[in-house]
Amino acid sequence: MELINEESASELLQAQTQVWNHIFNFINSMTLKCAVQLGIPDVIHKHGKPMTLSELVSSLPIHPSKTQYVHRIMRILVHSGFFSQQNLNGGPNQEAYFLSQSGRLLLEDSPLSMRPLLLMLLDPVLTKPWDCLSTWFRNDEVTAFSVAHGRTLWEYAGQDPRLNNLFNAAMANDSVLVSKVIVSKCKGIFEGVSSLVDVGGGVGTMATAISEAFPHIHCTVFDLPHVVSDLQGSKNLEYAAGDMLEAVPPADALLLKWILHDWSDEDCIKILQQCKQAIMRNEKQKKVGKVIIIDMVRENQNRDEMSAETRLFFDLEMMVTVNGMERNEKEWGKLFFDAGFLNYKIHPVIVLVSYSKLKLTYGIIFINSMTLKCAVQLGIPDAIHKHGKPMTLSQLVSALPIHPSKTQYVHRLMRILVHSGFFSQQNLNGINDDQEVYSLSQSARLLLEDSPLSMRPLLLILLDPVVTKPWDCLSTWFRNDEVTAFSVAHGKTIWEYTGQDPRLSNLFNEAMASDSVLVSKVIVSKCKGMILVDVGGGTGTMAKAISEAFPHIDCTVFDLPRVVSDLQGSKNLKYVGGDMFEVVPPADAVLLKWILHDWSDEDCIKILQRCKQAIMRNGKQKVGKVIIIDMVRENKNRDEAVSTETQLFFDLEMMVTVNGMERNEKEWGKLFFDAGFLNYKIHSVLGTRSLIELHP
């Protein structure tokens, strides 16, 4: 076996960590959603001072069996910046939580709460289309939402009161903050205005704020009948039903807040033309009126990096759900000109930067995970790699298996992937956009289908709908006595599911095999001159690498009969079916790669005791050892910025799917001692994971 040198191994492990973090970005979104659904921000806020873990646990609406898990979800939320943590009196178990400024935006009763917006964006109805993104690229459906649900978002909301109410609540809460800024900083906009129509104004939060701040302005909220039919106006506020694509009521000023980004250029032009007619035919004023638009201006030079990412996320959210987009100034200008407007002025006053710094991005950061999955399913890394040199957008589009109607969307997908660091972009000759070319980063090379070190199978199983669905059930799981959220979602354990579903079983085995290739390059030097049993070794990729590198080592792959029954061994490699909870074949060394993190402490102790028996009865005078490849959380030898988040993600993935966990050294040590082992040594050789040698 060709070994990798230390420098290339380090680069490879860093690239691997980047891939892990992007795969698991969706966990940031889902844990935040769970915290809101359980009311964690409100509980801490109502407590009035920093709250200990025990106080928090006793105040939450959770099942007694789930009290032990609260600290794990709080760990990622502290890491994400929604809560802060301090130690009271320096004693054990005296760590207390309090809200950060970001956390305060999630309070239910706060007038500036972003809670409704987060719950809407992360509702299963709106997240399901992301699983259909690559399918949408291949067919002629207008949106991925239509692929997932067989109708448009607007049709769905019109027929589903729950989603309609969720949408209106989200828009209303957003309008509270926007209206405060508009009323305080943009008073000049309303000078000379006596009538205003809020087009697509929902339940009227924005128009109400304007009507109260400027009593001389008569405000009309104009929206679809199912939105406004039961709403009551006031002295200078009324509601009118209609369709903005057909006609808009006349007024001095028309307001479009977060409307145009929902629509294609063609539809935006129709809407703007209707608006132009409305301000031109207002008989009460000789002066021609104006249209006020509140929306994003993508690539605004006054914005920071975090704001740029938020804009890219929203652009793709619009693409997936409603066939809309976020536009830059050039695109806005063309839209206005095509609709018959000659003049416009942009005021950067609704500061999305503040939203971004207050962690709005975390609510939709799952988009990083899903766009990466889509890129892999479409074969984008492979297309660029096979091209042999940097690839223009037109070359890439022609090489992908997509429907002709979707060629215009590829650059938007690539934009977020370049921002994420999976592809780099450069301009050839500096002439036009079509001369921009894409090339692979080190991280993207780990997603190539035929690469021996490919993480593609791992990405596809971890982002498979079967594996991601349990995250929508996380708050439900906290409230009941089911062992895992996976069981809540599917009515069975993941092991039972894979045992009954060949597709998922094959995906799982491929994922474990692909991971074993990289690990085996590092591990072989630790395994010379012994009989080795790879417990839970799957299809044998790890053991095969060791057996080929060291022909004198007899290797046994030990796994469930359904996994190994049809596999063929070789001269020094064999497959044995069995159950590691009952007995493990005797050997000089027992290997446990990514096994123990799948199990509770009680189950781990049982497994380790069986391993101890196996190395004690190997027929040799010398007692053997157990080799564990797993994460050691909070390992001080790690680069905190690189690995901490990855380990926190994995810990929660284990909690949700299999009732397992990632352990720190203290937790590992207790586990070993309870299983009857007295000595262990940790080798930090595998990036976010470690190799642990364990002796009786």
Contact 331, 292 (CB under 8 A): no
Contact 102, 115 (CB under 8 A): no
**290-294 and 51-52: which strand pairing?**
unpaired
User: How far apart (Å, rounded) are the C-alpha atoms in residues 688 and 667?
Assistant: 17
Phi, psi of 406 (to 5 degrees): -105, 0
Contact 354, 177 (CB under 8 A): no
Catalytic residue numbers, as ranges: 261
Phi, psi of 615 (to 5 degrees): -85, -15
Nearest to 46 by CA among 107, 117, 113: 107
Contact 620, 614 (CB under 8 A): no
- For Cα atoms 678, 684, 685, give the angle at the middle one, nearest 5 degrees: 125
Phi, psi of 690 (to 5 degrees): -130, 160
User: How far apart (Å, rounded) are the C-alpha atoms in residues 453 and 487?
Assistant: 32
Q: How many CB atoms lie within 10 A of CB 560?
A: 16
| Cα distances (Å, whole numbers) of residue 255 to 179, 221, 267, 291, 510 | 12, 10, 17, 6, 54
Nearest to 292 by CA among 233, 203, 217, 215: 217
User: How far apart (Å, rounded) are the C-alpha atoms in residues 596 and 578?
Assistant: 17
Positive or negative torsion for Cα 498, 499, 500, 506: positive
**DSSP secondary structure letters along 558-617:** EE-HHHHTT---BTTEEEEE--TTT-----SEEEEES-GGGS-HHHHHHHHHHHHHHHHS
**Sole residue written with tokens 């589903």:** 160
**Sole residue written with tokens 């005078």:** 621
- Contacts (Cβ under 8 Å, ≥6 apart) of 191: none
Kindly give the interhelix angle for 366-378 and 6-23, rounded to the nearest 10 degrees. 110
